[in-house]
Amino acid sequence: MTSQTIAVASDHGGVELKQALCEFLAERGIEVLDLGTQPGESVDYPDYADKLAQALADGRAQRGVLVCGSGIGISIAANRHRHIRAALIHDAYGARMCRQHNDANVIVFGGRTTGVEVARDCLGIFLDTEFEGGRHARRVAKLGGEPGCC
């Protein structure tokens, strides 16, 4: 992966995992844009998906990480934005496929369903795996976003 800023956001259900993944990104020397929330706040996950989508639209970050309790609500909210291809990931296979085949620009985790070590592994794979293009580019184009933009 070339030098990028990664935007990170969560609701209260994902805040501990979000903090751990910010540390993981910092350990790798990656610039992190932490859009919140912070521990102790109870917030609404669509607001945090929207903040992250805006950061990617503005060019403040090139990819993103979202976390809520299950990962479900925040991924639904993120995917309402045309430029977002958010993948809810539970394992290494999914982390690799969402990049190779789907050109996902946002990885999503459930803070109450996925442990820190699994999430770290998956995030590393997400960052290090390239989109394969070819027939997958045609399919991603049909999603209406811009394949290969990030």
Interacting residue ranges for ligand RB5, rule: CB under 6 A:
11, 13, 45, 68-70, 72-73
The question of whether 68 is a catalytic residue gets the answer yes
Catalytic residue among 12, 22, 68, 122: 68
Residues 23-48: b if buried by 16+ CB within 10 A, e if exposed: ebbeeeebebbbbebeeeeebebbeb
Catalytic residue among 83, 90, 101, 136: 101
In the bound state, the residue with its beta carbon closest to ligand RB5 is 73
The question of whether 149 is a catalytic residue gets the answer no
Shortest gap between Cβ of 45 and ligand RB5 (angstroms)? 5
DSSP secondary structure letter of residue 18: H
Torsion of CA 106, 111, 114, 116, to 10 degrees: 90
Instruction: Provide the annotated active-site residues.
Output: 68, 101
